[in-house]
Each structure stands twice: as C-alpha cells, then as structure tokens.
C-alpha cells in the first residue's frame, strides 16, 4: 500500500480540490452557454447613450441594444466595461425605443432606472455617454405572461421606489387597456412622464409630493381584474395579503442577488409553497399566493 507523507497528502488534496473546482466551473459554463443559446437572450457590449439623475439617488441610463426587445417585467445583467465588480447587476428594463419603427422587436434603445445601493449600482450611475457596458438579456418572465386573460376590465399597477421600472415598460405595452397606477416613493417622484393611466395615485413618505404615507395605505384591490406589483418585500406582502383577502389575482416581481442570470448557478432561490424556484429563470414575477415571504 502507498504511504504518502503529510505534505504529499496535502498536495494531493489540493490537486483534487483544484480538479473538482475546474470540473464544476466547466460544467457551469457549459450550462450557462447552453442556456444562453436555447433562449432569446444575448450578451453584448453596448454603448451608453444617456445618463442623468432623475432623483437624489436614482439615475436613468440608456443603452444602444441591438438584440431582442425586452418586454415589461424582464431584466438585464449590466456590467460597465471599466469595473471593480465581478458580476453584472440585475436591472429591469424600464423603457424601449425601437431604432426602426417597422421592426419594433429588435434593435433600439433600452432604458433603466438605477438606485444607488452599493458599488455595482454606483459604477452604473457613474457611466457617461460613449462608455460601454456588457448587457446580458432580456432575462426572466413578463407581466404579459401573467396577464393571459387580457380583456378590457381594469388592472392596477403598484410600485414602491425604483420598483416602478418594470411596471413602466408594461404600462407602455398596455395601449388602450385601462389601468390605474399607484406609485410610492420616499421623497419626490420619477419615471411617470411617459405613462397614461386612467388614474394615478402618488404617495411619498415625507409628503413632498402626492399623499403623505406609504402606497399600500392608499391602495385597495377591489374592482380590479388583476394587480401587478414591484417594490420592497414588505410592501409586496401587504399588497399581496390585501389581494388574497379580496380574491383578486396578484403578481409580484421579486429581487434576489444574482450571479449567472440564466439558471446555471442556482444562486437566486425563491421559496414558494410548492418548493424552490429560481428568481432569474422561473421569475422574477410570481403569483403572490405561492410566495413565502421572509418578513
Ligand atoms: C430581477 C431584478 C430586477 C432589478 N431591477 C432593478 C432596477 O430596475 N433598478 C435598481 O436600481 N435595482 C434593481 N434591482 C436590484 C439591483 O440588482 C441591486 O440593487 C444591485 O444588484 C445592488 O448591487 P450593488 O453592487 O450596488 O450593491 P451591493 O454592494 O451588492 O449591495 C448593497 C446593499 O443592497 C442590498 N442588495 C443588493 N442586491 C440586492 C437585491 N437584488 N435585492 C435586495 N437587496 C439587495 C445588499 O444586501 C446590500 O445591503 C433588481 C434586482 C433584481 C433581482
Ligand atoms: S442567478 Fe444563477 S441561477 Fe439565478
């Protein structure tokens, strides 16, 4: 029998560890590449065409995107070319302007609203026109998929803070369909210029605009065929509970930390009543009745 010295055993252990990690990384990147090839998503270097502050800690960014048009609810992983962060950050598409009106489904300008949180979002907000970022997308499911029985009865869109972004794009897709928009902010409002709701309710926590308080205080689901909401989890839970009590279907967009964005790393698990789902691939939009909130 071979008798290895402790140093040999350590070297052997390190070798097997490195081998296992290399194997795992290779399998993961194969899975990542396969997922990308099987979906409509693209990974591309894109030019930033506009960057401007729209509120104290929120910036609006626009990029030239030659790939497929995003639908309301979908997101991209964004990573500036010059960056100190390893992973792209998931940011919802807030707007879409096709370059050629005759071909609205590909090639145009995609816009985002970015709230300053940590280093990744700060780097995005610091981007200037002409600089490039890597964009991977469009990723995830859409509000329209949840709204399959579309008819003329009104729906409600309810947002908290920068959670307004994916609902703005959906509001622009609704055309003549009646919808009411409930938007909550900490202070001041942003992003509402391009939408035409039947009614608009704005609430700010400091009372600087609209009603003073939090948006769930001014929202009741009765009379709506469905409710679509995005914002902080405690807000989603209050809105969701009210909808469940009134037996109105409600769909919420959830936020989780993400790495790959395409279902390859299993890093964005969402607990639902039937087990676990991936926020990036199965979501980010879920039926609120299924979601197990942390709070
Ligand atoms: C599907 C999806 C869509 C999103 N859309 C937008 C959007 O349109 N605009 C926007 O500004 N942000 C959006 N986010 C959130 C955004 O991805 C995070 O704010 C961003 O990753 C933070 O990165 P950072 O490096 O700036 O902060 P970090 O340094 O990573 O974190 C700073 C702080 O923010 C918290 N945080 C970081 N990421 C998240 C997260 N995903 N959820 C909750 N808390 C987090 C951290 O715990 C920490 O306390 C979205 C997230 C998801 C999953
Ligand atoms: S981010 Fe990798 S599985 Fe969702």
Over residues 188-201, the pLDDT tens digits come to: 999 999 999 999 99
Measure 269 CA to ligand 2 centroid, in angstroms. 8
Give me the sheet containing 42-55, strands edge to edge.
89-92, 75-80, 132-139, 42-55, 58-68, 106-115, 95-98
* Residue 95 near residue 136 (C-beta atoms within 8 A): no
How many whole angstroms from 3 Cα to the centroid of ligand 2? 43
Q: Is 91 helix (H, G, I), strand (E, B) or coil?
A: strand
pTM above 0.85, yes or no: yes
What pLDDT, on a 0 to 100 scale, did the predictor assign at position 168?
98
For the chain, what percent of residues have pLDDT higher than 90? 75
| For ligand 1, atom 32: residue with the closest CA | 118
188 lines ligand 2 (CB under 6 A): no
Cα 282 to averaged position of ligand 2 atoms, centre (Å): 10
**Which pLDDT score is estimated for 84?**
81
Ligand 2: nearest atom to the Cα of 281: 4
pLDDT at 188: 92
**pLDDT, tens digit (0-9, with 9 covering 90-100), for 204-248:** 999 999 999 999 999 999 999 999 999 999 999 999 999 999 999
Q: How far is the CA of 119 from the centre of ligand 1 (A)?
A: 10
More confident residue, 105 or 136: 136
Distance CA 7, CA 186 (A): 59
Residue 146: closest CA among 290, 287, 293: 287
Q: Between 95 and 19, name the one with better pLDDT.
A: 95
Name residue, tokens 């997308």: 137
Mean pLDDT of 47-74: 96
* Residue 40 confidence class, pLDDT cut points 50, 70, 90: confident
Supply the pLDDT for residue 274. 87
What pLDDT is attached to residue 39? 66
What pLDDT score does 59 carry?
A: 97
pLDDT reported for residue 205 = 96
For residues 186 and 77, give the distance between their C-alpha atoms in angstroms, rounded to a whole number.
Answer: 26
Question: pLDDT digit string (tens) for 137-184?
Answer: 999 999 998 887 667 789 999 999 999 999 999 999 998 889 999 999
Q: What is the pLDDT of residue 31?
A: 56
User: For residue 70, what is the DSSP state?
Assistant: P
Q: What is the pLDDT of residue 160?
A: 98
Q: What span, in angstroms and rounded, lies between the C-alpha atoms of 50 and 121?
A: 16
Q: What is the mean pLDDT of residues 122-138?
A: 96
The predicted pLDDT at position 206 comes to 95
Q: What does the pLDDT read at residue 91?
A: 98
CA atoms within 13 A on the CB side of 207: 1
Note the pLDDT tens digit of each residue in 260-291: 999 999 999 999 998 999 999 999 999 999 99
Tokens 């939009």 map to which residue? Answer: 285
Cβ(280) to ligand 2 under 6 A? yes
Phi, psi of 207 (to 5 degrees): 75, 10
Q: Which atom in ligand 1 lies closest to the alpha carbon of residue 257?
A: 41
Question: What was the pLDDT predicted at 82?
Answer: 85
Which pLDDT score is estimated for 102? 83
Is the pLDDT score of 36 beyond 80? Answer: no
Segment (H or E) for 168: helix 164-173
Tell me how far the alpha carbon of residue 69 lies from the centroid of ligand 2, in angstroms.
22
Task: Report residue 240: phi and psi, to 5°.
Answer: -65, -45
More confident residue, 21 or 75: 75
Residue 75 Cβ inside 6 Å of ligand 1? The answer reads: yes
Q: Which domains does the chain have, with CATH numbers?
A: 42-139 (2.40.30.10), 143-287 (3.40.50.80)
């Amino acid at each position: 029998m071979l008798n290895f010295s402790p140093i040999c055993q350590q070297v052997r252990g390190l070798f097997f560890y490195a081998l296992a990690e290399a194997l795992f990384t290779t399998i993961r990147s194969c899975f990542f590449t396969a997922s990308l090839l099987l979906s409509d998503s693209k990974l591309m270097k894109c030019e930033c065409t506009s960057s401007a502050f729209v509120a104290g800690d929120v910036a609006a960014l626009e990029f030239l995107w030659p790939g497929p048009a995003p639908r309301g609810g979908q997101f991209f992983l964004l990573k500036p070319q010059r960056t100190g962060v390893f992973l792209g950050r998931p940011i919802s598409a807030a707007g879409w302007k096709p370059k050629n009106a005759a071909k609205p489904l590909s090639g145009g300008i995609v816009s985002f609203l970015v709230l300053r949180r940590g280093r990744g979002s700060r780097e995005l907000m610091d981007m200037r026109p002409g600089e490039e970022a890597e964009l991977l997308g469009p990723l995830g499911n859409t509000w329209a998929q949840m709204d399959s029985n579309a008819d003329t009865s009104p729906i409600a869109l309810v947002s908290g803070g920068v959670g307004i972004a994916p609902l703005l794009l959906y509001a622009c897709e609704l055309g003549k369909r009646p919808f009411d928009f409930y938007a909550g902010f900490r202070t001041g409002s942003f992003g509402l210029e391009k939408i035409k709701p039947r009614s608009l309710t704005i609430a700010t926590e400091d009372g600087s605009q609209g009603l003073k308080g939090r948006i769930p205080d001014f929202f009741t689901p009765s009379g709506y065929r469905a409710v679509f909401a995005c914002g902080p989890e405690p807000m989603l839970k209050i809105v969701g509970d009210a909808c469940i009590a009134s037996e109105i279907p409600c769909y919420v967009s959830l936020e989780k930390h993400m790495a790959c964005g395409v279902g390859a790393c299993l890093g964005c698990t969402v607990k639902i009543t039937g087990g676990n789902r991936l926020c990036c691939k199965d979501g980010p939009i879920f039926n609120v009745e299924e979601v197990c909130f942390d709070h």
